[in-house]
Amino acid sequence: MSSDELLAGLEEKWDKAVNHEFIKACIDGSVKPEQFNRWLVQDYYYVRGFTPFAGSLLASAPDSHLETIVSGIAALTDELAWFKDTAQKRGCDVTIIGMQPACVAYRQFMQGLHSEPYAIKATAFWAIEAVYHTAWASVLRNAASEELKQYSHRWGNPAFGEYVQQLRFHADEALAFTPELLPQARKVVEQVADLEVDFWGMAYNEA
């Protein structure tokens, strides 16, 4: 079992998630400040919900996977501070804006995973981080704007890519032990791709 098999048949959905029009607009510089701000604030709320999911993954992980997950969790302190700071600098008040439905839905999905087997959580965790790495790495490589390149570095950098690779090994390993979970794991990857598309889409909701 490998994550290539996990993605087989889901290529189109995956492509929609990693090459969304929001990402294209970040690359060509046509993204409007208010669109970027909408994504930014919703992602701050998202990461607040992602953190307990990471904790739940850690709680069910085998010994040999602990270091990678702990390093990922440790990075979230800085990430949450970055979101708050960047939102404030861009004039957004995260204490009053509130979550949009696509953010609520994604957080509920993660909450629902808490009680699932480790292999399923590890697959979802990899898929979540993989979408962001692939999407933002293309912004980092191709963006016209220095500011957007800087933002994209957080998930697009090569060290984050190695972390995602490690998560992929974890998911593969866990699924190799429990191959009967493969259909469920594929479903979860599909759900992540769909949720990511809706998430990027929030940038265009003039709520």
Nearer to ligand HMH, 116 or 129 (CB): 129
The residue whose Cβ lies closest to ligand HMH is: 132
Q: How far apart are the first and last CA of the chain?
A: 43
Nearer to ligand HMH, 100 or 119 (CB): 100
Q: How far is the CB of 106 from ligand HMH (least distance, A)?
A: 6
Nearer to ligand HMH, 154 or 178 (CB): 154
Phi then psi for residue 95, to 5 deg, are: -80, -15
Q: How far is the CB of 43 from ligand HMH (least distance, A)?
A: 5
Structure tokens at 192: 């992540």
Q: How far is the CB of 127 from ligand HMH (least distance, A)?
A: 9
Q: Residue for token digits 């974890």?
A: 170
In sequence order, what are the residues at sequence separation of 6 or more whose Cβ sits closer than 8 angstroms to the Cβ of residue 201?
A: 20, 22, 102
Could you tell me if 172 and 7 are in contact, meaning their C-beta atoms sit under 8 angstroms apart? no
Residue 116 DSSP class = S
Nearer to ligand HMH, 24 or 178 (CB): 24
Q: How far is the CB of 92 from ligand HMH (least distance, A)?
A: 16
Could you tell me if 156 and 129 are in contact, meaning their C-beta atoms sit under 8 angstroms apart? no
Contact residues for ligand HMH, defined by CB under 6 A:
43, 46-47, 50, 128-129, 131-132, 196, 199
